[in-house]
Structure 1
Amino acid sequence: MTTQTSVPPGESPPECSYCGQPFSHEEYLVLHRGLEHGDELDDDEVSAFHEAYEEETEEMRLFRLKVLAVLVLLYFGFLFTYSIVA
């Protein structure tokens, strides 16, 4: 599957040296290499993947906590509104 992208003139996106797939951010390239080409990576690339993976995991954990807090606030907001109106 090929994704259509637009790259500003004079710039080139980071590309995977193994499969040539372009990425919008270097971080995405590091994660792609670790997930898709893990057996072919050298030690520096493996450590970069582990760092990026841990950072991504932490960001996802924080996002989930924020979403949970919003859902709890919505729930109690609707509950209090219902108890006042009804």
Structure 2
Amino acid sequence: MTTTDYSVPTGESPHVCAYCGDPFREEEYLVLHHGLEHGDELSEDEVAAFYDAYEVETEELKHFRLKALGILVLLYFGFLFIYAIIGIS
């Protein structure tokens, strides 16, 4: 097992895992950590909260991927048109 040093910014109170003591900046991160690292120890409410947070995280990731793909397509065709215009003249 490895130990990790954590740094919490001054003035912020972290959300601390009750099972292992790891701090998290956002409560959502703590809920996801619970489901991924301590799934066997969770109550039904904690499991339901994990699945809700996981679904939200998955949806946000899908939107990010779609936006990134759109930007890459625009860049590709933008450079293609610029090359076609400069290459012709």
Per the TM superposition, whether the score is higher than 0.5 is yes
Contact 1:30 1:45 in 2 (8 A): yes
- Structure 2 counterpart of 1:7, from 6, 9, 17: 9
Structure 1: gaps spanning 5 or more residues: none
Number of residues paired by the alignment?
Answer: 85
Aligned-residue identity in percent: 64
Scaled by the length of structure 2, what TM-score is found? 0.90
Task: Give the alignment's Cα RMSD to 1 decimal.
Answer: 1.2
CA deviation vs aligned residue, 1:47-66 (integer Å, no higher than 9, x gap):
00000000000000000000
Task: For structure 2, list consecutive stretches of 5 or more residues without a partner in the other structure.
Answer: none
Structure 1 distance, partners of 2:84, 2:21, is 59
Structure 2 counterpart of 1:34: 35
Who is 1:82 aligned against?
Answer: 83
What letter is aligned with 1:59? E
